[in-house]
Homo-oligomer: A and B are copies of this chain.
Amino acid sequence: MEKEITIYDLAKILALSPATVSRALNDHPAINAKTKVLIAEKAAELGYRSNTFASHLRTRKTNTLGVIVPRLNSNFMSTVLAGMEEVANNFGYNLLISQSLESELKEQANAKTMFNSRVDGLLVSVAYDTDSFEHFSTFINRNIPVLFFDRIMNHPQCGAVIIDNEQAGYDATRHLLDQGCRRIMHVTGDLRRNVYADRLEGFKRAIADQNLPTGNRLVISTDLSQEAGRAIAEQIHQMEEKPDGLFIANDLCAAICLQALKERGYVIPKDIAIVGFNNDPVSQVVSPQLTTVFYPGYQMGKTAMTTMIGQLNGTKLIDHLEPIILRSELIIRRSSIRLEKS
Protein backbone atom coordinates (compact mmCIF):
# COMPACT_ATOMS: atom_id res chain seq x y z
CA MET A 1 0.00 0.00 0.00
CA GLU A 2 2.91 2.35 -0.20
CA LYS A 3 3.96 3.13 -3.71
CA GLU A 4 1.59 4.82 -6.06
CA ILE A 5 1.07 2.71 -9.14
CA THR A 6 0.76 4.23 -12.61
CA ILE A 7 -0.47 3.20 -16.01
CA TYR A 8 3.16 2.34 -16.81
CA ASP A 9 3.22 -0.21 -14.02
CA LEU A 10 -0.02 -1.69 -15.25
CA ALA A 11 1.28 -1.72 -18.79
CA LYS A 12 4.46 -3.51 -17.80
CA ILE A 13 2.67 -6.12 -15.72
CA LEU A 14 0.16 -6.87 -18.44
CA ALA A 15 2.69 -6.64 -21.25
CA LEU A 16 0.75 -3.86 -22.93
CA SER A 17 1.53 -0.27 -23.79
CA PRO A 18 0.63 2.65 -21.53
CA ALA A 19 -1.52 4.01 -24.32
CA THR A 20 -3.69 0.93 -24.32
CA VAL A 21 -4.02 1.04 -20.57
CA SER A 22 -4.99 4.68 -20.67
CA ARG A 23 -7.57 4.11 -23.36
CA ALA A 24 -8.98 1.09 -21.63
CA LEU A 25 -9.41 2.97 -18.39
CA ASN A 26 -11.22 5.71 -20.25
CA ASP A 27 -13.44 3.21 -22.03
CA HIS A 28 -12.14 4.11 -25.44
CA PRO A 29 -14.11 2.30 -28.18
CA ALA A 30 -11.02 1.12 -30.05
CA ILE A 31 -9.99 -1.17 -27.21
CA ASN A 32 -11.03 -4.79 -27.11
CA ALA A 33 -13.66 -5.49 -24.51
CA LYS A 34 -11.69 -8.38 -23.01
CA THR A 35 -8.58 -6.25 -22.74
CA LYS A 36 -10.59 -3.61 -20.94
CA VAL A 37 -11.82 -6.11 -18.40
CA LEU A 38 -8.33 -7.44 -17.92
CA ILE A 39 -6.93 -4.00 -17.31
CA ALA A 40 -9.79 -2.88 -15.11
CA GLU A 41 -9.35 -5.94 -12.91
CA LYS A 42 -5.64 -5.50 -12.54
CA ALA A 43 -6.10 -1.81 -11.79
CA ALA A 44 -8.61 -2.58 -9.08
CA GLU A 45 -6.42 -5.32 -7.68
CA LEU A 46 -3.41 -3.05 -7.36
CA GLY A 47 -5.38 -0.08 -6.10
CA TYR A 48 -4.50 2.07 -9.04
CA ARG A 49 -5.80 5.64 -8.97
CA SER A 50 -5.48 8.04 -11.80
CA ASN A 51 -3.14 10.93 -11.25
CA THR A 52 -5.46 13.81 -11.86
CA PHE A 53 -2.63 16.27 -12.24
CA ALA A 54 -1.04 14.50 -15.10
CA SER A 55 -4.47 14.21 -16.61
CA HIS A 56 -5.37 17.85 -16.01
CA LEU A 57 -2.04 19.00 -17.30
CA ARG A 58 -2.62 17.18 -20.50
CA THR A 59 -6.34 17.83 -20.96
CA ARG A 60 -6.42 21.35 -19.57
CA LYS A 61 -9.53 20.53 -17.61
CA THR A 62 -9.67 20.41 -13.85
CA ASN A 63 -13.10 18.94 -13.21
CA THR A 64 -13.32 21.42 -10.39
CA LEU A 65 -15.92 24.12 -10.01
CA GLY A 66 -15.57 27.15 -7.79
CA VAL A 67 -18.39 28.33 -5.55
CA ILE A 68 -18.31 31.69 -3.80
CA VAL A 69 -21.04 32.50 -1.32
CA PRO A 70 -21.48 35.42 1.07
CA ARG A 71 -21.64 33.15 4.10
CA LEU A 72 -21.97 29.46 4.70
CA ASN A 73 -23.82 29.82 7.94
CA SER A 74 -27.33 30.20 6.81
CA ASN A 75 -29.74 27.41 6.43
CA PHE A 76 -30.46 28.65 2.97
CA MET A 77 -26.86 28.62 1.74
CA SER A 78 -25.93 25.27 3.10
CA THR A 79 -29.03 23.81 1.55
CA VAL A 80 -28.08 25.31 -1.77
CA LEU A 81 -24.61 23.81 -1.42
CA ALA A 82 -26.01 20.40 -0.60
CA GLY A 83 -27.99 20.56 -3.82
CA MET A 84 -24.96 21.64 -5.79
CA GLU A 85 -22.80 18.95 -4.29
CA GLU A 86 -25.22 16.21 -5.15
CA VAL A 87 -25.28 17.13 -8.82
CA ALA A 88 -21.57 17.86 -9.03
CA ASN A 89 -20.75 14.51 -7.48
CA ASN A 90 -22.94 12.69 -9.95
CA PHE A 91 -21.06 14.25 -12.81
CA GLY A 92 -17.63 13.74 -11.31
CA TYR A 93 -16.94 17.34 -10.47
CA ASN A 94 -15.26 18.64 -7.35
CA LEU A 95 -16.31 21.79 -5.54
CA LEU A 96 -13.99 24.47 -4.27
CA ILE A 97 -16.10 26.44 -1.81
CA SER A 98 -15.29 29.76 -0.17
CA GLN A 99 -17.11 32.53 1.62
CA SER A 100 -16.77 36.23 0.88
CA LEU A 101 -18.11 37.18 4.31
CA GLU A 102 -20.11 39.87 2.52
CA SER A 103 -16.99 41.78 1.52
CA GLU A 104 -16.14 42.64 -2.05
CA LEU A 105 -12.44 42.56 -1.23
CA LYS A 106 -12.63 39.02 0.08
CA GLU A 107 -14.75 38.09 -2.88
CA GLN A 108 -12.09 39.35 -5.24
CA ALA A 109 -9.41 37.44 -3.38
CA ASN A 110 -11.53 34.30 -3.55
CA ALA A 111 -12.11 34.77 -7.25
CA LYS A 112 -8.41 35.15 -7.80
CA THR A 113 -7.69 31.94 -5.93
CA MET A 114 -10.31 30.15 -7.97
CA PHE A 115 -8.81 31.55 -11.14
CA ASN A 116 -5.36 30.35 -10.22
CA SER A 117 -6.76 26.97 -9.31
CA ARG A 118 -8.12 26.93 -12.84
CA VAL A 119 -11.64 25.99 -12.00
CA ASP A 120 -13.64 24.94 -15.05
CA GLY A 121 -16.51 27.16 -14.01
CA LEU A 122 -17.58 29.55 -11.27
CA LEU A 123 -20.84 29.78 -9.36
CA VAL A 124 -21.37 32.94 -7.34
CA SER A 125 -23.81 34.61 -5.05
CA VAL A 126 -22.32 38.07 -4.68
CA ALA A 127 -21.44 39.90 -1.49
CA TYR A 128 -23.35 42.78 0.00
CA ASP A 129 -21.12 45.53 -1.24
CA THR A 130 -19.87 44.23 -4.56
CA ASP A 131 -19.89 46.92 -7.24
CA SER A 132 -17.18 45.87 -9.62
CA PHE A 133 -17.52 43.10 -12.14
CA GLU A 134 -13.83 43.06 -12.93
CA HIS A 135 -12.90 40.00 -10.88
CA PHE A 136 -15.44 38.07 -12.91
CA SER A 137 -14.41 39.45 -16.31
CA THR A 138 -11.15 37.62 -15.81
CA PHE A 139 -13.12 34.43 -16.18
CA ILE A 140 -15.31 35.61 -19.01
CA ASN A 141 -12.24 36.68 -20.96
CA ARG A 142 -10.84 33.21 -20.76
CA ASN A 143 -14.15 31.70 -21.66
CA ILE A 144 -14.69 30.17 -18.25
CA PRO A 145 -18.42 30.15 -17.58
CA VAL A 146 -19.70 32.18 -14.65
CA LEU A 147 -23.14 31.54 -13.24
CA PHE A 148 -24.82 33.63 -10.58
CA PHE A 149 -27.44 32.37 -8.21
CA ASP A 150 -29.72 34.16 -5.78
CA ARG A 151 -27.71 37.37 -5.60
CA ILE A 152 -26.87 37.99 -9.19
CA MET A 153 -25.10 40.50 -11.38
CA ASN A 154 -26.54 41.30 -14.75
CA HIS A 155 -24.13 40.42 -17.47
CA PRO A 156 -24.99 39.24 -20.96
CA GLN A 157 -22.58 36.33 -20.80
CA CYS A 158 -23.47 35.03 -17.35
CA GLY A 159 -26.29 32.71 -16.46
CA ALA A 160 -28.44 33.27 -13.42
CA VAL A 161 -30.72 31.24 -11.18
CA ILE A 162 -33.08 33.19 -8.97
CA ILE A 163 -36.54 33.30 -7.51
CA ASP A 164 -39.05 35.94 -8.46
CA ASN A 165 -38.21 38.32 -5.67
CA GLU A 166 -40.52 41.01 -6.97
CA GLN A 167 -43.47 38.67 -6.81
CA ALA A 168 -42.44 37.32 -3.43
CA GLY A 169 -42.19 40.89 -2.11
CA TYR A 170 -45.56 41.63 -3.58
CA ASP A 171 -47.15 38.54 -2.04
CA ALA A 172 -45.69 39.24 1.39
CA THR A 173 -46.87 42.83 1.35
CA ARG A 174 -50.22 41.96 -0.13
CA HIS A 175 -50.73 39.46 2.66
CA LEU A 176 -50.11 42.16 5.25
CA LEU A 177 -52.53 44.46 3.46
CA ASP A 178 -55.12 41.69 3.40
CA GLN A 179 -54.69 41.36 7.13
CA GLY A 180 -55.73 44.95 7.48
CA CYS A 181 -52.36 46.64 7.76
CA ARG A 182 -52.34 50.13 6.34
CA ARG A 183 -48.97 51.43 7.38
CA ILE A 184 -46.40 48.85 6.40
CA MET A 185 -42.73 49.26 6.96
CA HIS A 186 -40.19 47.41 4.85
CA VAL A 187 -36.75 46.58 6.21
CA THR A 188 -34.41 45.60 3.44
CA GLY A 189 -30.73 45.03 2.67
CA ASP A 190 -28.34 46.69 0.31
CA LEU A 191 -30.36 47.84 -2.67
CA ARG A 192 -27.51 47.16 -5.06
CA ARG A 193 -28.44 43.53 -4.68
CA ASN A 194 -31.24 42.32 -6.90
CA VAL A 195 -32.85 40.27 -4.17
CA TYR A 196 -33.50 43.34 -2.06
CA ALA A 197 -34.19 45.78 -4.86
CA ASP A 198 -36.72 43.41 -6.41
CA ARG A 199 -38.49 42.70 -3.16
CA LEU A 200 -38.77 46.43 -2.63
CA GLU A 201 -40.34 46.80 -6.07
CA GLY A 202 -42.88 44.15 -5.18
CA PHE A 203 -43.53 45.90 -1.91
CA LYS A 204 -44.16 49.19 -3.71
CA ARG A 205 -46.40 47.62 -6.29
CA ALA A 206 -48.57 46.04 -3.62
CA ILE A 207 -48.86 49.31 -1.76
CA ALA A 208 -49.62 51.21 -4.93
CA ASP A 209 -52.29 48.68 -5.86
CA GLN A 210 -54.20 49.75 -2.79
CA ASN A 211 -53.75 53.41 -3.58
CA LEU A 212 -51.77 53.89 -0.43
CA PRO A 213 -48.82 56.29 -0.42
CA THR A 214 -45.58 54.62 -1.48
CA GLY A 215 -43.15 57.10 -0.01
CA ASN A 216 -39.74 55.96 1.08
CA ARG A 217 -40.17 56.98 4.69
CA LEU A 218 -41.21 53.48 5.57
CA VAL A 219 -38.40 51.76 3.74
CA ILE A 220 -35.24 51.16 5.72
CA SER A 221 -32.06 49.75 4.30
CA THR A 222 -29.88 47.89 6.81
CA ASP A 223 -27.41 45.03 6.86
CA LEU A 224 -30.18 42.73 8.11
CA SER A 225 -28.00 41.59 11.00
CA GLN A 226 -29.22 40.65 14.44
CA GLU A 227 -28.18 44.08 15.67
CA ALA A 228 -30.18 45.67 12.89
CA GLY A 229 -33.20 43.76 14.15
CA ARG A 230 -32.81 45.28 17.57
CA ALA A 231 -32.18 48.74 16.14
CA ILE A 232 -35.34 48.59 14.06
CA ALA A 233 -37.40 47.75 17.11
CA GLU A 234 -35.94 50.71 18.90
CA GLN A 235 -36.54 52.95 15.92
CA ILE A 236 -40.17 51.90 15.72
CA HIS A 237 -40.52 52.53 19.40
CA GLN A 238 -39.37 56.09 18.82
CA MET A 239 -41.67 56.76 15.91
CA GLU A 240 -44.73 58.91 16.32
CA GLU A 241 -46.81 57.21 13.70
CA LYS A 242 -45.93 53.60 14.20
CA PRO A 243 -46.32 51.00 11.49
CA ASP A 244 -48.95 48.29 11.84
CA GLY A 245 -47.14 45.89 9.53
CA LEU A 246 -43.52 44.96 9.11
CA PHE A 247 -41.94 43.15 6.18
CA ILE A 248 -38.31 42.27 6.90
CA ALA A 249 -36.25 40.68 4.17
CA ASN A 250 -34.53 38.19 6.47
CA ASP A 251 -35.89 35.76 9.05
CA LEU A 252 -33.23 35.99 11.71
CA CYS A 253 -33.34 39.78 11.66
CA ALA A 254 -37.13 39.65 11.74
CA ALA A 255 -37.15 37.20 14.63
CA ILE A 256 -34.83 39.34 16.71
CA CYS A 257 -36.88 42.41 15.91
CA LEU A 258 -40.09 40.62 16.80
CA GLN A 259 -38.66 39.69 20.13
CA ALA A 260 -37.34 43.16 20.83
CA LEU A 261 -40.75 44.58 20.04
CA LYS A 262 -42.40 42.12 22.43
CA GLU A 263 -39.99 43.18 25.13
CA ARG A 264 -41.11 46.75 24.62
CA GLY A 265 -44.69 45.71 25.13
CA TYR A 266 -45.97 45.45 21.60
CA VAL A 267 -48.30 42.59 20.88
CA ILE A 268 -47.56 40.66 17.73
CA PRO A 269 -49.51 40.50 15.43
CA LYS A 270 -52.19 42.74 16.98
CA ASP A 271 -50.09 45.89 17.20
CA ILE A 272 -47.69 45.01 14.46
CA ALA A 273 -47.94 42.11 12.04
CA ILE A 274 -44.61 40.76 10.84
CA VAL A 275 -43.42 38.87 7.78
CA GLY A 276 -39.87 37.61 7.30
CA PHE A 277 -38.05 35.94 4.42
CA ASN A 278 -36.28 32.61 3.77
CA ASN A 279 -38.12 30.10 5.95
CA ASP A 280 -35.11 29.70 8.20
CA PRO A 281 -35.57 27.36 11.20
CA VAL A 282 -35.71 30.39 13.50
CA SER A 283 -39.00 31.35 11.91
CA GLN A 284 -40.59 28.34 13.60
CA VAL A 285 -38.99 28.93 16.93
CA VAL A 286 -40.06 32.46 17.73
CA SER A 287 -43.44 32.98 19.22
CA PRO A 288 -45.63 33.76 17.57
CA GLN A 289 -44.19 31.78 14.70
CA LEU A 290 -43.06 33.92 11.84
CA THR A 291 -44.81 34.24 8.52
CA THR A 292 -42.15 33.98 5.87
CA VAL A 293 -41.29 33.18 2.27
CA PHE A 294 -40.08 29.69 1.48
CA TYR A 295 -36.91 29.72 -0.56
CA PRO A 296 -36.23 26.58 -2.60
CA GLY A 297 -32.55 26.29 -1.68
CA TYR A 298 -31.92 22.68 -2.56
CA GLN A 299 -33.64 23.10 -5.87
CA MET A 300 -31.69 26.25 -6.57
CA GLY A 301 -28.41 24.49 -5.94
CA LYS A 302 -29.34 21.58 -8.17
CA THR A 303 -30.59 23.79 -10.95
CA ALA A 304 -27.56 26.05 -10.87
CA MET A 305 -25.16 23.13 -10.95
CA THR A 306 -27.05 21.30 -13.67
CA THR A 307 -27.03 24.43 -15.78
CA MET A 308 -23.34 24.95 -15.25
CA ILE A 309 -22.41 21.40 -16.13
CA GLY A 310 -24.72 21.49 -19.11
CA GLN A 311 -22.89 24.54 -20.33
CA LEU A 312 -19.50 22.92 -19.81
CA ASN A 313 -20.55 19.86 -21.74
CA GLY A 314 -21.91 21.97 -24.51
CA THR A 315 -25.32 20.48 -23.94
CA LYS A 316 -26.79 23.86 -23.19
CA LEU A 317 -26.31 26.71 -25.61
CA ILE A 318 -23.96 29.25 -24.17
CA ASP A 319 -25.86 32.24 -25.42
CA HIS A 320 -29.22 31.18 -24.10
CA LEU A 321 -28.82 33.03 -20.88
CA GLU A 322 -32.24 34.01 -19.72
CA PRO A 323 -32.27 33.87 -15.94
CA ILE A 324 -33.88 30.73 -14.58
CA ILE A 325 -36.63 31.59 -12.14
CA LEU A 326 -37.69 29.18 -9.41
CA ARG A 327 -40.89 29.26 -7.44
CA SER A 328 -41.04 30.56 -3.94
CA GLU A 329 -44.03 30.49 -1.65
CA LEU A 330 -45.51 32.53 1.15
CA ILE A 331 -45.85 30.53 4.36
CA ILE A 332 -48.41 32.08 6.61
CA ARG A 333 -47.93 31.68 10.35
CA ARG A 334 -49.20 33.39 13.43
CA SER A 335 -47.00 36.48 13.41
CA SER A 336 -49.18 38.05 10.76
CA ILE A 337 -52.67 36.67 11.20
CA ARG A 338 -54.99 39.40 12.42
CA LEU A 339 -58.19 38.29 10.78
CA GLU A 340 -59.51 34.81 11.21
CA LYS A 341 -60.47 33.22 7.96
CA SER A 342 -64.10 33.68 7.20
Contact = CB atoms under 8 A, between A and B. Distances in A.
Contacts of A226: 281, 284
Interface in A19-57: 49-54, 56-57
A99 B73 contact: no
Task: Report, nearest first, the 10 A-B pairs whose CB atoms are least far apart.
Answer: A73-B78, A72-B78, A53-B57, A53-B56, A255-B285, A53-B53, A97-B97, A1-B141, A73-B75, A282-B285
B73 A89 contact: no
Nearest to A63: B117
A79 interface: yes
Contacts of A247: none
B94 A117 contact: yes
A335 to B, nearest CB: 12
A95 interface: yes
Interface of A: 1-2, 49-54, 56-57, 62, 71-75, 77-79, 81-82, 85, 89, 94-99, 101, 109, 113, 115-118, 141-142, 226, 252, 255-256, 259, 262, 281-282, 284-287
A142 B51 CA distance: 15
Nearest to A118: B52
A240 B54 CA distance: 68
B99 A82 contact: yes
B94 A50 contact: no
A109 B109 CA distance: 30
Nearest to A3: B142
A256 to B, nearest CB: 6
A262 B288 CA distance: 12
Nearest to A254: B285
B98 A96 contact: no
Nearest to A81: B72
Contacts of A115: 49
A256 B226 CA distance: 20
Contacts of A81: 72, 99
18 contacts: A1-B142, A2-B141, A49-B115, A50-B116, A51-B118, A52-B116, A52-B117, A54-B57, A72-B77, A73-B74, A73-B79, A73-B82, A74-B78, A78-B78, A89-B113, A94-B113, A95-B97, A259-B284
B287 A259 contact: yes
A138 to B, nearest CB: 8
Given A89-B109, A255-B285, 20 more contacts: A51-B57, A51-B118, A52-B118, A53-B54, A54-B57, A72-B72, A72-B77, A72-B82, A73-B73, A73-B82, A77-B78, A78-B99, A89-B113, A94-B117, A95-B97, A95-B98, A226-B281, A226-B284, A285-B286, A287-B287
